[in-house]
Amino acid sequence: MRLLILFFTLLCPFWTFCQDAYFKSTIVTQSNDTIKGLVSNNYDSKTFKFKRTANTKPVNYNPKQLKSVTLENNIFESKVVRAFHYIKKINNYGANGIPSDYLEKDTLRPQFIDTVFVQKIVNGVANLYKFTNKDGFVYYFVEKDKIIHELPPRNCYVQIDSNSIRQMLNKRMANLNTADSYTVYTYIKDDYLDTLGFVFRDKNYLTKPAKEFKYTEKSLSNYVAQYNKKQGVPNGGILKTSVNRKIFTGLSVGLIYLNYDKDIEKADLYGSYAFKFFGLYPLRGVNRNLFAKFGINYFTYRNESLKKSIPSGSFGLRYASVEGSVRPYIEASIGVASFNKNNRPIDVGFPMLIEAGLNIPIRNSFLTISATQTPVMVYKLNGYKLWSFNIGVLF
């Protein structure tokens, strides 16, 4: 039985997705029907999972079926967007020889045009939206008069040594300012500022020099809000957004298979068990594809004359699947553990825990089956390596 569980858990692909978590929401269909219910936090720009009540079966909606989704404080609207693809490159002429990253348009690939869910950040005469593609690249769009425009990413601020001026001048850069005789500072052209000036038909609406602007969500929101304020929009139309994070908690118990301990070659099956209590905190915003795990673990095993136990606290990362009736995951943690012999602490160590398992959804919770190897590190006084096979619940 132990080998069977281990076989299936290790065969599971290490997908990087997430658990389900539903929050109160409102959706608006293309026929303008407004429906209240629950929406999953799994947002991939192409699908929202919606159900009317906690116990009903979820339905997947795509951007062509909905006009908008309101998820807590977040508003997502269906929009047709057009944008360039970009390539990250390295500028080898940075200050003191330190390379810096910058972006260039990928002219070999055509613009992508797609209907997607975009998150509204500013609502007014001009609207600001955010969109994340499958590669994790974040785009921003500004909309005015029902026309949506991409704000091309700003290439990074570059500091170039004076010895590289000739090489620097061979590159297409703008707004050159000489700060001193040793260093030259340059700002690569800010295409997004030109786009804003074109959309607003006023390149002078900004109150700060262009070189002080930054291509960040906060700065872009302030720029668009500044324009809206001049049009009489209260607070510039900046929306309060939030990241909905459900903290999952779990409890599992199981048996131990001992594969190394110089004091105990064969442990008593009935005196060898594992206990784990843990919490999972989503790290990747609305995508929820990465979790921080905080755990309390207790492992114990014995033979006829000797008993050993290892209580520990651990911290690590987990990846998990979101789809299907069986959802695999994998994680790695490092812990601080006390090594006890016959109920007396004899050593402290920092073991590592590697775990693979399955989550099986049952209503609003999960049945968890897992296999854990711990630790892969050895104490100074006495080493051990073991497997634990656990079953539990995640909710």
Kindly report, residue by residue over 58-81, the tens digit of the pLDDT.
898 999 999 999 987 789 999 999
Enter the DSSP assignment of 17: B
Range of lowest pLDDT (225-229, 278-282, 377-381): 377-381
Distance of alpha carbon 224 from its chain centroid, rounded?
Answer: 27
For residue 213, the model assigns a pLDDT of 62
Q: Which amino acid is at 33?
A: D
Q: Which of 394, 111, 360 is nearest to 276 (CA)?
A: 394
For residue 179, the model assigns a pLDDT of 40
Q: Is the pLDDT confidence value at 378 over 70?
A: no
pLDDT tens-digit map of 145-191 = 999 999 988 654 445 444 444 444 444 344 444 444 344 444 456 67
Strand-pair category, 34-40 with 22-29: antiparallel
Higher pLDDT, 304 or 312: 312
Which of 17-26, 315-324, 364-373 has the highest mean predicted lDDT (pLDDT)?
A: 364-373
For residue 101, the model assigns a pLDDT of 66
Query: Global pTM?
Result: 0.65
**Contact indicator for 319, 12 with CB cutoff of 8 Å:** no
Tell me what percent of the residues of the chain surpass a pLDDT of 70.
72
pLDDT tens-digit map of 195-218 = 888 888 765 655 555 455 677 888
Mean pLDDT value across residues 355-377:
85
Sequence length of the chain is 395
Q: Is the pLDDT confidence value at 294 over 90?
A: yes
Residue 138 CB coordination number (10 Å): 11
What's the Cα-to-Cα distance from 202 to each of 21, 193, 250, 264, rounded to whole Å? 44, 11, 56, 79
Enter the DSSP assignment of 269: G
For residue 205, the model assigns a pLDDT of 56
For residue 182, the model assigns a pLDDT of 40
Mean pLDDT value across residues 311-319:
93
pLDDT tens-digit map of 320-346 = 876 678 889 999 999 898 888 888 888
Higher pLDDT, 283 or 144: 144
List the beta bridge partners of residue 393: 251, 367
Between the two ends of the chain, the Cα-to-Cα distance in Å is: 26
Higher pLDDT, 178 or 294: 294
Quote the CA–CA distance of 381 and 348 in Å, as a whole number.
9
Q: pLDDT band for 315, please (50, 70, 90 cuts).
A: very high
- Phi and psi at residue 287, in whole multiples of 5°? -75, -30
For residue 173, the model assigns a pLDDT of 41
For residue 35, the model assigns a pLDDT of 95
For residue 170, the model assigns a pLDDT of 41
**Domains contained in the chain, CATH given:** 77-237 (no CATH), 248-394 (2.40.160.20)
Element (H, E) at 140: strand 138-144
